Amino acid sequence: MDIILVPGFWLDASSWEKVTPPLVAAGHRVLPLTLPGLGATDVPRAGIGLRDHIDAVVAVIDTIESPVVLVGHSGGGAVIHGAVDARPDRVARAVYVDSGPLGEGSAINDELTADGDDIPLPPWDSFAQADLVDLDDELRRAFRERAIPQPRGVASDAQHLSDERRYDVPATIIACQFPAAMLTEWIEAGHPFVAELARIDDVEYMDLPTGHWPQFTRPAELGAAILAAVDR
């Protein structure tokens, strides 16, 4: 199986490096992506928006003849959902790592502080404590050293979807900050945060208790969880 890994904000393809070994060992081809504007700290990010990131994933899908598995972390969940909408017949499963599908008209996070066209990694004290579970001082230092400013438009652009066949694509939610049971309770309560997720026909939930960046705090366990989802 071809597995396309889409990182969350401030991260490039290398952020998956400790997650991929079990996937490769199982015989899968793993394709971690660096999305437009995330190649280096000094590349231009003007004009790069959410659709550019979705199109970058779709372009990779179109180079592969067989169905793929898409994995998206954090804001990457919105990106892979846009790609599922664009190519619903080419995606065997979408895996959302501490994230979920972003519905029509919503933005990933338009409250992040921008500096021109860039959104730098915010100070740690601006994150919720649940985000930072297991992210010790050494991991925080390494993360900040590798962090690349996020293109502002990716965070603030509205998601636009057009093909309801996206709801036919099986999904896996790997829940980290909040237990999966909380997500299912929100769905039952009709919470708007999970409205798009609630419309997907086939969803499985997996708990991986840690903070928002399991690729750093529990990479081996995240790799095993993704492998289990692929094996479905």
Q: Has residue 197 got a pLDDT over 90?
A: yes
Dump pLDDT digits (tens) for 207-227. 999 999 999 999 999 999 999
Q: Give me the pLDDT at residue 124, please.
A: 98
Mean pLDDT across 80-107: 98
Q: Give me the pLDDT at residue 217, please.
A: 98
Q: Has residue 144 got a pLDDT over 90?
A: yes
Q: Give me the pLDDT at residue 72, please.
A: 98
d(CA 169, CA 126): 35
**Could you count the other beta carbons within 10 Å of the beta carbon of residue 162?**
9
Q: Has residue 202 got a pLDDT over 90?
A: yes
Q: Has residue 11 got a pLDDT over 90?
A: yes
- Can you read off the two tokens belonging to residue 24? 């490769």
Question: Per the confidence metrics, is the pTM higher than 0.75?
Answer: yes
Q: What is the mean pLDDT of the chain?
A: 97
d(CA 222, CA 216): 9
d(CA 184, CA 207): 12
Q: Has residue 128 got a pLDDT over 90?
A: yes
Q: Residue ranges per domain, the chain?
A: 2-231
Assign domain 2-231 one CATH number from 3.30.70.890, 3.10.20.600, 3.90.1150.10, 3.40.50.1820.
3.40.50.1820
Dump pLDDT digits (tens) for 28-85. 999 999 999 999 999 999 999 999 999 999 999 999 999 999 999 999 999 999 999 9
Q: Has residue 204 got a pLDDT over 90?
A: yes
Q: Give me the pLDDT at residue 232, please.
A: 80
